[in-house]
Amino acid sequence: MLPIIILTLTMGVFAGVIMTYIWLSKTASKRFAYLEAETKAKAKVIESESALLLQEAKVAIKKEELELQKTLKIKMSSIEEQEKSLFAERQKLEQIEEKLYKFSRNLNQKEKKLEQLEQEKENIIDTNLKKMEQIASMTTQQAQDYILQEVEKKSRNEIAAIVRKYEHLAKEEGERKANYILAQATTRYAGEFAGERLINLVNLPTDEHKGRIIGKEGRNIKTLETLLGVDIIIDETPGVIIISGFNLYRRAIATRVIELLVEDGRIHPARIEEIHEKVNKEFEHKVYEDGKNILIDMGLFPMHEELIKLIGKLKYRASYGQNALGHTLEVARLASIMAAEMGGDEKLAMRAGLLHDIGKALTQEFGGSHVDLGAELCKRYNEHPIVINAIYAHHGHEEPLSVESAAVCAADALSAGRPGARREVLESFTKRVKELEEIALSKEYVEQAYAINAGREIRVIVNANKLNDNQAVLLSKEIAKEIEAKVQYPAEIKVNVIRETRAIEYAK
């Protein structure tokens, strides 16, 4: 009877274990579908262990039955021996219960872990939904901009390091080559320093001529000013009158007209008109001859007649106090030398340099951009496409498409930017300096900014604790790009970003 009871208890325990496992397995499967495979695998392991335990129990029971049969055969062995056997069985049952307890505790831990994972999953889903809602409210371009901004923030330092590396290599090679070319060009050419004034002086034989120039009731001086397009200033300075005007060509004609009238002695409106017409024709012929002689000297003749006249007329045009013809000849010769050094066509570069500012000969009469006027003229008279490209490129309207165009751009900057080449109005200089400093100060982490070296360099002091070396490189590029887009300036402006850390302590 006892073996049957023990067997029943054992079977009951194992049945309970199996039922508990099945119930727990089903519950976990319903709650955590994505862990079903793992749970089934564990269930199989547990089932195998239970089957093994059951087999062991059966063997043990079989042994007990044999022992009981022996006991019955030897007329029931002592009760003490039976108690030992029962005690051994109790230990086995306790071990089984301990295993079941550990398994149950382990299963509870797994359930808690699964609950945490489920919560994390829900949190991630909520976060993603919020991001999707944000993205859904954006346009395609806004979403692209947002992604690019995030990528730029993460990769800013890496990009800056790469930029610094290759910029350093390119700068070394570029400086070496550029210095060689500029050295070759400038040592083989020396240009004249030219300056223009806003007035011309005409010397008079006597002060009586002042009254004759003024005429009765001011008729003569009114006729002169109307025809010549200049201001004639007659003051108390003995033996001199002043001709004032911004147009050098008109001023030169006016000077010649008055000189001829003084020599002739007959000064009245009809004679003034006659002399003016004669001087106009002389100047038309003179500018043509001047332009023609320049082309012959440079080996660029022939050229269209209108362009020849305009080249000669550049003598009577100035920019920032620099004579336009002197600047043009300087650019033409420098561009020719640079193009030859770089393997280009030196004659074509010289022609492009000579015509790069041809539009300035028309701006005082027609207005507008000298770049557009010059390009339109050269297109009309079938100049080479490289010449037209050089006209556009020297002020950044197009990119240089050839060695010759690039040489003209470099020569133009060199001629205009050299010390003493140009004079600037104080107001425009002050405005440019102020704009440079405002652009620099508008950037994040910039503490101070100073325009120095006559506005050709800006020094930017940044917060060293918030900006590293790589970011400083990018900041200098951002400032330079904004200056290029917003500020008008000759030559180039150096952007110098400075960051330093100072440690200060006092000995007491």
This model's pTM is above 0.75: no
Selected residue with higher pLDDT from 19 and 243: 243
Q: Which residue matches tokens 């269209």?
A: 304
Distance CA 326, CA 283 (A): 19
Write the burial class of residue 87 (CB in 10 Å: 0-12 exposed, 13-18 middle, 19+ buried): exposed
Of 19, 96, 94, 24, the residue nearest 53 (C-alpha): 96
Sign of the alpha-carbon dihedral angle for 420, 426, 432, 435: positive
Reported as a single tens digit per residue, the pLDDT across 457-495 is 888 988 888 888 888 888 888 898 898 888 877 667 888
Residues 398, 297 within the same domain? yes
Residue 507 lies in a domain: no
Tokens at 444, concatenated: 């994040």
Q: Are 388 and 378 in contact (CB under 8 A)?
A: yes
Q: Say if 173 falls within a structural domain.
A: no
What is the domain-level CATH number for residue 391?
1.10.3210.10
Which has the closest alpha carbon to 264: 249, 275, 248? 275
Q: How confident is the model at residue 107 (pLDDT cuts 50, 70, 90)?
A: confident
**pLDDT on residue 225:** 84
Last residue of a domain, one of 384, 417, 450: 417
As a whole number of angstroms, the distance between CA 390 and CA 167 comes to 27
14 belongs to a structural domain: yes
Direct distance between the N- and C-terminal alpha carbons of the chain, in angstroms, rounded to an integer:
100
In this structure, the strands spanning 322-323 and 446-452 are unpaired
Amino acid in position 352: A
Q: What is the mean pLDDT of residues 116-145?
A: 66
Q: Is residue 167 part of a domain?
A: no
Mean pLDDT score of the chain, rounded to an integer? Answer: 77
For 447, residues 6+ apart whose C-beta sits below 8 A from its C-beta are 461, 462, 463
Report DSSP letters for 305-371, one per residue: HHHHHHHHHGGG-EETTEEHHHHHHHHHHHHHHHHHHTTS-HHHHHHHHHHTTTTHHHHHHH-S-HH
**Residue 250 maps to a domain:** yes
Q: Cβ–Cβ contacts within 10 Å for residue 8, how many?
A: 10
Q: Give domain status of residue 352, yes or no.
A: yes
Position 195 scores a pLDDT of: 37
**Which pLDDT does position 82 carry in this prediction?**
65
Mean local confidence (pLDDT), 278-286: 88
Question: Of 134, 149, 181, which residue is a domain's last?
Answer: 134
Helix (H) or strand (E) segment spanning residue 447: strand 446-452
What is the average per-residue pLDDT within 234-255? 82
- Determine the structural domain holding residue 83 and report its residue range: 2-134
pLDDT tens by residue, 386-441: 998 989 888 878 888 888 988 888 888 877 765 555 555 455 667 778 888 889 98
- The one-letter code for the residue type at 46 is I
Q: If pLDDT is split at 50, 70 and 90, which confidence band does 196 have?
A: very low
Same domain, 333 and 411: yes
d(CA 246, CA 302): 32
* Helix or strand run (H / E) with residue 14: helix 2-31
Report yes or no: 3 and 68 within 8 Å, Cβ to Cβ: yes
Q: How many helices (H) and strands (E) does the chain have?
A: 17, 8
Domain match, 273 and 207 both: yes
**Could you give the 3-state DSSP secondary structure of residue 386?**
helix
| Mean pLDDT across 36-50 | 74
| Virtual torsion, Cα 368, 486, 427, 409, nearest 10 deg | -60
Domain edge (last residue) among 390, 417, 444: 417
Work out the average pLDDT over 265-282: 87
Q: Which of 318, 322, 327 has the alpha carbon at shortest distance from 252?
A: 318
Does residue 193 surpass a pLDDT of 60? no
166 within a domain of the structure (yes/no): no
Count of domains in the chain?
4
- Tell me, yes or no, whether 461 and 399 share the same domain: no
Distance CA 422, CA 413 (A): 12
Separation between Cα atoms, residue 96 and residue 90, nearest integer Å: 10
Q: Which of 365, 336, 338 is nearest to 352 (CA)?
A: 336
**From CA 314, how far away is CA 312, in angstroms rounded?**
5
How many other C-beta atoms are found inside a 10 Å radius of the C-beta of residue 251? 23
Between these two residues, 162 and 69, which has the higher pLDDT value?
Answer: 69
Q: Which helix (H) or strand (E) holds 497?
A: strand 494-498
Whether 64 and 9 map to the same domain: the answer is yes
pLDDT above 70: residue 264 = yes
Paired strand residues for 446: 462
- Tens-digit pLDDT profile for residues 289-329: 888 888 888 888 888 888 888 888 888 777 666 778 888 88
Domain shared by 408 and 440, yes or no: no
Q: Which amino acid is at 273?
A: E
- Residue 29, classed as helix, strand or coil, is helix
Domain check: are 50 and 126 in the same one? yes
